Structure 1
Amino acid sequence: MTTEQLRPRSDSSSPPPSSPSGGDRLLFLTEALRTFHDTGALAPSSAELVNALVVPVTSRPNRPISVLEVGAGTGVVTRRLTQVLRPGDRLHVVEANQRFADRLREDPVLAARHPGIALRLSACRVEELPQCRPATPTAPDGIGRAAGTGPGGGADATNATDERYDVIVSGLPFTNFEPAQVRHLLDLYLRLLLPGGELTYFGYLGTTTARTLTSGPRQGARHRAVVRLLRRFEATYGLGERTAWHNLPPARAYLLRAPGGREDWRPGSDCPAAKPAGNR
């Protein structure tokens, strides 16, 4: 596991488009076929879906913000985020697939971002934070060192203050996971969000029927249990949703807000605690 910052280029030329290249599509397909459980798709998200996922960053307070992206893949959302973020903002990208992480480190759009945008890449699962976060703060164009690695990196990560975020953009394929894992991830996201922070994630349309037909009744039942859990979560914290019909396959992005922190979501429970009327 490594955590490092991606150094921006010194030139101020406009970054190239954020759409995936042919090489990115091939890498994504290769990794999807190799590890579909963790990838959850056969192609990167479309521009329509990407724009829906970054809404909290484009409608934001007039101050620097901190953003966490989980499951960046080949970086189609990451590139868009670096284009809409402002100097002083921070973007922390978490990607567990080492091949995707290597591609992100070499991405020319990310390297060409505005030098005032701090970008950190953690090649690990989000559940493994803060062990793979830098032991000490670094400048926007510096190199972060993972806690417990290298000179001066022996500090106990559990003593570090957990970083919290204004926005979390999640690309994880929830319906590929067990319900208990999804409950854990949702609880973790709410703990990582600042009060009032916003979360976006997406799901593909029509997957429940497809899962039952292709994987059998047991996987279909698991899939339905995850969907019910997500719907209850959205009923409590949801602000809205947007359907990306031109995505392959069509997908729906969800926007949620954490009103008061972790006490509103009971870790390990089947659904969030009921939110008082009028707080949506």
Structure 2
Amino acid sequence: MTNGQLRHRPDSLPPQTSSHGALGSPPGGDHLLFLAEALRTFHDTGALAPSGAELVNALVVPATSRPNRPISVLEVGAGTGAVTRRLAQVLRPGDRLHVVEANPRFAERLREDPVLAARRPGVGLRLSACRVEELPEAGGEVAGAAPGSEERYDVIVSGLPFTNFEPTQVRDLLDLYLRLLAPGGELTYFGYLGTTTARTLTSGPRRVARHRVVARLLRRFEATYGLGERTVWRNLPPARAYLLRSPGGQQDWAPAPAPPASATAPALALALTPEPDPNR
């Protein structure tokens, strides 16, 4: 996959319509539910509205530029399902989609979503109402889940609000994503523009310093594994999507044997000391 594919919507994407109209506009009630949960738990929600259509397209690019074989996709922090519904449209028979959403109200909405229920025959769908750190394959325990799962994913789409978290938690999440990705697998996530300035104007020095440390950590991660980024101005608020690839595999997505241990993703060892940082 190329940086150009991230910047421009692939022609292979199906039309952005469903039984609910434009997929960029979630089904009725989703905006209200999202806003209510954002006001109740903004630390975990991180936004006041679901992702818009252009941001959704940027985030699902790895699932459309893919090998000629079934793939496994993990979505973390699905919210009310703007990205999830798009993935359900572009995935093919034999593909698997694992959706992780810790908010029980969002998870219930996803279970009832008619677009997900009407996905293509043969597309597997699994919903885990927990944090990604609690998945068996992440070393955690989830009630009813088979122990010892070793599933790896070709694509991970993360909707988590990294800049709301502590630096150590962000570092652990990025390490986890690298462990869960198959060799050469791809990761997308996004951040809102202007958050450093907004945090400076509305928060105290400790929160501003924490925010800058997280921003620096993400920038180093992107410098190590990044393939490209895309600024999406037509989003509320404007956002930047990032595309990254785990070590190993082949860039043309041809199936390849697992790399030797020396080529597997290293733990993300980054200093967590604050320093001046330009706006993200």
Structure 2, gaps ≥5 residues long: 1-17, 249-258, 272-280
The within-5 A match list for 1:66-215 is 66-130=72-136, 148-149=143-144, 157=147, 160-215=148-203
Asked if 1:270 corresponds to 2:258, the answer is no
Q: Are residues 1:233 and 2:221 paired?
A: yes
| Equivalent residue in structure 1 for 2:204, among 193, 197, 216 | 216
Aligned residues: 238
**Matched letter for residue 134 of structure 2:** E
RMSD over aligned Cα atoms: 2.0
Q: Post-superposition shift, 1:162?
A: 1.7
Preserved contact between residue 183 and residue 264 of structure 2 (Cα < 8 Å): no
Q: Would the alpha carbon gap of residues 148 and 98 (structure 1) be closer, same or farther in structure 2, given more than 3 Å must change?
A: closer
Query: Equivalents in 1 of 2:135, 2:48: separation in Å?
Result: 27
How far did residue 213 of structure 1 move? Answer: 1.0
- Alpha-carbon deviation of 1:115? 1.9
TM-superposed deviation, 1:131: 7.4
The residue type paired with residue 84 of structure 1 is V
Q: Which amino acid aligns with 2:67?
A: P
Indicate conservation of the 8 Å contact 1:98/1:123, yes or no. yes
> Cα deviations across residues 28-84 of structure 1 (Å, max 9, x unaligned)?
000000000000000000000000000001111111000000000000000000000
Other-structure match for 1:22:
28
Are 1:15 and 1:113, in contact at CA under 8 Å, matched by a contact in 2? Answer: no
TM-score (norm: length of structure 1): 0.81
Correspondence for 2:40: 34
Q: After superposition, what is the alpha-carbon deviation per residue over 1:221-272, rounded to whole angstroms, capped at 9, x for unaligned?
A: 10010000000000000000011101011000000000138843325x217x
Other structure's SS at 2:70 match: coil
Q: CA deviation at 1:161?
A: 3.1
- Contact persistence 2:20–2:27 (CA under 8 A): no
1:124-144 CA distances to partner (integer Å, 9 max, x unpaired)?
A: 0000011799xxxxxxxxxxx
Q: Is the 8 A contact 2:137 2:150 kept in 1?
A: no
Secondary structure, counterpart of 2:80 in structure 1 = coil
Judge conservation of contact 2:179–2:265 (CA < 8 Å) in 1: no
Asked if 2 retains the 8 angstrom alpha-carbon contact of 1:168 and 1:199, the reply is: yes
- Give the ranges of 4+ consecutive aligned residues of structure 1 lying more than 4 Å apart after TM superposition: none
Q: Deviation of residue 15 (structure 1)?
A: 4.8
Quick check: 2:135–2:142 contact (8 Å CA) kept in 1?
Answer: no
Q: Which residue of 1 aligns with 2:10?
A: none
- Percent identity (aligned): 80
Report which stretch shifted further, 67-76 or 206-215.
206-215
| Correspondences of 1:5-16 after superposition (within 5 Å) | 15-16=19-20
Match of 1:60 among 54, 57, 66: 66
